[in-house]
Structure 1
Amino acid sequence: MIAPSPAFCAELDQLFRWRRDVRHFETRPLPEGLLDILLRQACQAPSVGLSQPWRFVRVASAGRRAAVRAIFEACNAEALAAQPEARAGLYARLKLAGLDDAPEQVAVFVDTQTQIGHGLGRATMPETLSYSAVLAVHTLWLAAAARGLGLGWVSILDAPAVAEALDVPRHWRLTAYLCIGYPRAPSDVPELERAGWEHRLPPDDVLLER
């Protein structure tokens, strides 16, 4: 293992601060081949038993994008209706998807029946297979941020409906639907915090010692 320099650690800390859930994208495309590089880096994520259960679907078809957009609109309408009156106005003002402008859309699935890794490490905690796919998403997120790209995780979706719209194997389960592109207004403060929806907790508030 290479011993990181103080300068490297400082830059890594800056990367963590600038990794944001982006909701507003420029429409300009990514350079040719860049998404392939990001996905290769995502595949370097750790996984339980080296199972590598992540499966990526690059959604390029206008028809399939429209289908996902329709699923989002239906789910978002339900979410808005469920908001308490005090928060409904703020929720309605939030742009909760980059589905219109982001040049790249990638769906991340977990292969629930993968035989890779021979089941090591997940007999008592089978959910670690899904956690592994989430680690691939986070690795992709950091790789994108390091290149000045933003990533938005669209979670207001009917997962089985998205899987059907993308025509993937039945044993693939949706983990994340990602919009990737250049952010319109980069910031080191989460948009939801800037909008007054929520604030980041200090580490001491989430640490318990025994």
Structure 2
Amino acid sequence: MEEEVTSPDTDRPTNSAARPSPNEVRAFTEAWQSRPGFEAPAEEVGVELPAPVYTSWEDYLARTTERERLQWCRVKAKTASRERLMSGRPERRVTPLEVWQVAEGAQGRCVYCGSLALERRPTGHDGRPMPWAMVGRRIGSLDHRVGILDGGTNDLENLAWACLWCNVWETERRPGATDHGGLQRSDQQSRLALFFLITTLAGLEAAPAEGVS
């Protein structure tokens, strides 16, 4: 049996099999994400966007069976409960029922951008994964409001429904976004436009005129 070697300063194992501390993982992640070229890929120009698989939460319920929905939730629960390279296995496992509660509570819409996110990642005829960036805001995923590395847990109150695009790229979390296949409610876009217009006008009225003290 290999003897565990510890550091005299931290009393942590120093052999290669030891896991890094959360602070070390966070520092590595920040350094990795700040490197040149690490940013969300731009939306492809001139590429025809595929038609949405589902147009609303009601459409999704009507065109899927309870068994299909439960199977999808099982996959996401398994993903959320798996062991991670940097943080190990979560103390609490997510259940398929909890995944469904989160998705149903959000009516299938991303908590960050509001897009309808109920599709699966696209695959080819042979089952192999295909590029998904063009429909990233349509793909449903389970997210942690507070990340596991930041002390978050798999408790139900820390789980949120998110499109895969917002889940992967935190800088892309824009309410009402329609890029990358985003599907917003028809009335939501008009409300957002009106909100930004009112905010802009209010800001102009509050700003003092140039040269007036």
The structure that has the greater radius of gyration is 2
- TM-score where L is the length of structure 1: 0.28
Larger relative strand fraction: 1
